[in-house]
Structure 1
Amino acid sequence: MIGTRVLKSAQEPLRAMIGDRLSLIGVVVLLSIICMALFAPFLSTHEPLAVNEREEGSLLARSVDGERAHWVQRPALGERTLNAADYRDGVGLAVGRDGAAWRYLDGEWTELEAPLAATLIDVAIGPGGAALAVGVGGSVALLEDAAAGGEWQTLEAPVASALTGVAWLDDTTALLVGVDETILRLDTVSGEFEALESPLGRGMTLNSVALDVDGSAWLVGERGLTLRLDPEDDSLSLERMPTNRDLNHIHLADSGHGLIVGERGTLLSRSAVDDGWESQSAPDSRAMRAGWVTDEGHAFAVGRSGIVFEREADEWQLVPSEEERHLRALMVTEEGYFALGSDRFVNRLAPPSGEHWFGTDHLGRDLYSQNVHGSRIALLVGFIGAALVVLIGANVGLIAGYFRGRTETVLMRTVDVMYGIPFEPFALILVLLFEPSLLIVILAVSLLTWRTVARLIRSQVLSLRERPFVKAARVAGASDLRIMYLHIFPNVMPLVFLELAIIVGVSIIAEATLSFLGLGPPQSISWGGILHNARLSGAWRDAWWWNLPPGLFIMITVLSVFFISRSLELVANPRLRARR
Structure 2
Amino acid sequence: MMRSRFLKSAQEPLRAIIGDRLAMIGLVVLLSIIAMALFAPFLSTHEPLSVNEREEGSLLTRTVEDGQVRWVQEAALGGRTLNAADYRDGIGMAVGRDGAVWRFADGEWQELETPLDATLNDVAISPAGSALAVGQGGAVALLADAAQDSDWQRFEAPETTHLSGVAWRDESTALMVGANETIWRRDVASGSFEALESPLGRGMTLNSVATDVDGSAWIVGERGLTLRLEPEDDSLTLERMPTNRDLNHIHMAENGQGLIVGERGTLLARSAPGEQWQSQDAPDSRAMRAGWVTEEGQAFAVGRSSIIFERDGDTWRLMPSDEERHLRTLMVTEDAFYALGSDRFVNRLAPPSGEHWFGTDHLGRDLYSQNVYGSRIALLVGFIGASLVVLIGANVGLIAGYFRGRTETVLMRTVDVMYGIPFEPFALILVLLFEPSLFIVILAVSLLTWRTVARLIRSQVLSLRERPFVKAARVAGASDLRIMYLHIFPNVMPLVFLELAIIVGVSIIAEATLSFLGLGPPQSISWGGILHNARLSGAWRDAWWWNLPPGLFIMITVLSVFFISRSLELVANPRLRARR
1:419 equivalent in alignment to 2:414: no
> After superposition, what is the alpha-carbon deviation per residue over 1:310-351, rounded to whole angstroms, capped at 9, x for unaligned?
001111000012321110000011240111101111111111
Task: Give the TM-score normalised by structure 1.
Answer: 0.99
SS where residue 440 of structure 1 aligns? helix
Segments of structure 1 that go 5 or more residues without pairing to the other structure are: none
1:362 equivalent in alignment to 2:345: no
Q: Is the 8 A contact 2:377 2:526 kept in 1?
A: yes
| Partner of residue 275, structure 1 | 275
**In 2: Cα distance, 1:256 partner to 1:191 partner:** 30
SS where residue 116 of structure 1 aligns? coil
How far did residue 51 of structure 1 move? 1.0
Q: Is the 8 A contact 1:302 1:308 kept in 2?
A: yes
How far did residue 233 of structure 1 move? 2.8
Q: Is the 8 A contact 1:172 1:187 kept in 2?
A: yes
How far did residue 3 of structure 1 move? 3.6
SS where residue 149 of structure 2 aligns? coil
Q: Is the 8 A contact 1:181 1:206 kept in 2?
A: yes
**In 1: Cα distance, 2:26 partner to 2:544 partner:** 26
Aligned residues: 580
The amino acid of 2:521's aligned partner reads: P
More divergent stretch after superposition (213-222 vs 545-554): 213-222
How far did residue 461 of structure 1 move? 0.7
| Partner of residue 514, structure 2 | 514
The amino acid of 1:134's aligned partner reads: V
How far did residue 402 of structure 1 move? 0.6
The amino acid of 2:320's aligned partner reads: P
SS where residue 95 of structure 1 aligns? strand
> After superposition, what is the alpha-carbon deviation per residue over 1:429-473, rounded to whole angstroms, capped at 9, x for unaligned?
111111211111111000000000000000111111111121121
Q: Where does structure 1 differ by over 6 angstroms across 4 or more consecutive aligned residues? A: none
Q: Is the 8 A contact 1:183 1:197 kept in 2?
A: yes
SS where residue 478 of structure 2 aligns? coil
SS where residue 242 of structure 1 aligns? coil
The amino acid of 1:23's aligned partner reads: A
Q: Is the 8 A contact 1:115 1:153 kept in 2?
A: no
1:162 equivalent in alignment to 2:165: no
How far did residue 203 of structure 1 move? 1.2
| Partner of residue 405, structure 1 | 405
How far did residue 577 of structure 1 move? 2.2
Q: What are the equivalent positions in structure 2 for 1:392-541 lying under 5 Å apart? A: 392-541=392-541
SS where residue 10 of structure 1 aligns? helix
**In 2: Cα distance, 1:2 partner to 1:315 partner:** 93
More divergent stretch after superposition (228-237 vs 204-213): 228-237
Share of identical aligned residues, percent? 84
| Partner of residue 76, structure 1 | 76
SS where residue 63 of structure 2 aligns? strand
The amino acid of 1:387's aligned partner reads: S
| Partner of residue 144, structure 2 | 144
Q: Is the 8 A contact 1:306 1:321 kept in 2?
A: yes
SS where residue 441 of structure 1 aligns? helix
The amino acid of 1:258's aligned partner reads: G
SS where residue 457 of structure 2 aligns? helix
SS where residue 123 of structure 1 aligns? strand
| Partner of residue 131, structure 1 | 131
| Partner of residue 373, structure 2 | 373
**In 2: Cα distance, 1:71 partner to 1:115 partner:** 33
How far did residue 115 of structure 1 move? 4.0
The amino acid of 2:520's aligned partner reads: G
SS where residue 300 of structure 1 aligns? strand
Alignment RMSD, CA only?
Answer: 1.0
| Partner of residue 240, structure 1 | 240
Q: What are the equivalent positions in structure 2 for 1:11-26 lying under 5 Å apart? A: 11-26=11-26
More divergent stretch after superposition (59-68 vs 262-271): 59-68
Task: Give the TM-score normalised by structure 2.
Answer: 0.99
| Partner of residue 179, structure 2 | 179
SS where residue 5 of structure 1 aligns? helix
How far did residue 114 of structure 1 move? 2.9
How far did residue 20 of structure 1 move? 0.8
> After superposition, what is the alpha-carbon deviation per residue over 1:174-225, rounded to whole angstroms, capped at 9, x for unaligned?
1111111111111111110111111111111111111111111111111111
The amino acid of 2:359's aligned partner reads: G
Q: Is the 8 A contact 2:114 2:151 kept in 1?
A: no
**In 1: Cα distance, 2:335 partner to 2:409 partner:** 88
**In 2: Cα distance, 1:365 partner to 1:573 partner:** 48
Q: Is the 8 A contact 1:101 1:115 kept in 2?
A: no
How far did residue 565 of structure 1 move? 0.5
How far did residue 55 of structure 1 move? 0.9
| Partner of residue 214, structure 1 | 214
More divergent stretch after superposition (47-56 vs 2-11): 2-11
SS where residue 305 of structure 2 aligns? helix
Q: Is the 8 A contact 1:115 1:141 kept in 2?
A: no
The amino acid of 1:435's aligned partner reads: E
**In 2: Cα distance, 1:466 partner to 1:204 partner:** 97
